[in-house]
Structure 1
């Protein structure tokens, strides 16, 4: 009998082109966008509950992270006018188009809210801008997960359920970490709770990705890039840092130093997660089996 044919590609060449997104620009943008989104939401909630110092921290962090993230995105695009060209149209079916408009709105709202908070000028307009940023913030924190899943890269496309949750948890942990680091212990309680909530969500989503839970086609195969190579090492490092940060966040209610250390650990965990997702996508695009094996199964079923 002729042995069963195994997957192959033309001289072992990749089926897909490797994504052009590179480090540190794209992972840095993913992290800073999530930080800006979570911080703007934290600032609005702090302002509504009478915590002015935490609100100030959130507004400044949201504006600074949003500006830095936009700079990394423009650098990744190569020419600034490319971002402006994306604002010439609004296409609801395109995550890139919708995300560009959300990012532009988030940047304007956070800058206006932070400027008002720092200068004391037009406080009413500043609070209104902060409230608007609290609406666009969660979208900025999660739309990038939808954007990655809308590509043909197997490790991203098959994780369309996981990536938005992973980025949401990582963003909440990042925003809470910034609040713990820059806010006095007595007023940082909401930031600690946000960090714990985000850490739990991030750990759950990352764990599901590594185990292939919720992946429809060849879950073990598609999850492999998240367990091996640079992506696997970074996810494990991120998990260790996130767990350490969560433990520190519990102790931060009694010690400012513990809050700072916990915030730094959570920040490191969030960065490791974003870099891991990028490298997992690269690995799955470069490996022909991640594309060929699911395609052959679909053809056999059809």
Structure 2
């Protein structure tokens, strides 16, 4: 919405539904998910209208995976080399990141005795995020270089450490049952997820600024066709 200049322009995205456009699909998914999530939270806090809350929760759960991954699809659908070349794994990276950050928020907010599902989600989300990201970098070849240099590298290394550390603390908190430990795990997971997103963003910008990441793969593809 920030890129549109005026937030009100977001409404123009809802004039049509274009299945081939990640931006169009994402706009509609967000418009469906946000009120459902709000209704689910409101009915839970109020303790009233339980059937409405259950229906809203189910609807939000259906749309949740799309909300978690559509930004990765949107990035991969661009011509930015380090985003486009990661099109296979990036949605899984973002899905794992979303799961671990959601678990992190729950670990911060929920009593330790009720945080079992959040701890399990933290571990699974962290494993998916870290595993998919490493697989993506190995497959991307030259386009993965911006992830290993400068500011993106520092952010992504911090993200890996925070996510892995947060998941480990979440496991420990299941035995120690220390509220402060669970909160620290949650804070680490939330910060790690944010660092990952910023790292991916800055890596894409760096790859777009260097023509080598566009020209060299194009030449390699042309040579492959001539063989």
Displacement after TM superposition at 1:111 (Å): 1.4
The reply on whether 1:226 has 2:147 as its aligned counterpart is: yes
1:214 matched residue in structure 2: 139
TM-score between both structures, scaled by the size of structure 1:
0.72
1:202 to 125, 129, 132: 129
CA distance in 2, matches of 1:90, 1:109: 20
Where structure 2 has 5 or more consecutive residues not aligned to the other structure, the ranges are none
* Corresponding residue pairs, total: 223
The reply on whether 1:260 has 2:183 as its aligned counterpart is: yes
Displacement after TM superposition at 1:230 (Å): 0.8
Displacement after TM superposition at 1:289 (Å): 0.1
1:127 to 31, 54, 79: 54
2:196 matched residue in structure 1: 273
State whether residues 230 and 276 of structure 1, in contact with CA within 8 Å, keep that contact through their aligned partners in structure 2: yes
CA distance in 1, matches of 2:162, 2:42: 33
Structure 2 counterparts to residues 7-156 of structure 1, below 5 A: 74-156=1-83
1:287 to 184, 187, 210: 210
The CA deviation string for residues 119-157 of structure 1, in whole angstroms up to 9 with x for no partner, is: 233221111011100000111001111110000001011
The reply on whether 1:250 has 2:175 as its aligned counterpart is: no
CA distance in 1, matches of 2:46, 2:182: 28
State whether residues 206 and 235 of structure 1, in contact with CA within 8 Å, keep that contact through their aligned partners in structure 2: no
Displacement after TM superposition at 1:103 (Å): 0.6
CA distance in 2, matches of 1:100, 1:164: 17
Q: What is the CA RMSD across the aligned residues, in angstroms?
A: 1.2
The CA deviation string for residues 69-121 of structure 1, in whole angstroms up to 9 with x for no partner, is: xxxxx334221222110010001111111111001000111111122122233
State whether residues 252 and 258 of structure 1, in contact with CA within 8 Å, keep that contact through their aligned partners in structure 2: yes
CA distance in 2, matches of 1:137, 1:244: 25
CA distance in 2, matches of 1:301, 1:243: 39
The CA deviation string for residues 174-220 of structure 1, in whole angstroms up to 9 with x for no partner, is: 011111111111110000000010111111122223xx3233xxx1x
CA distance in 1, matches of 2:8, 2:181: 44
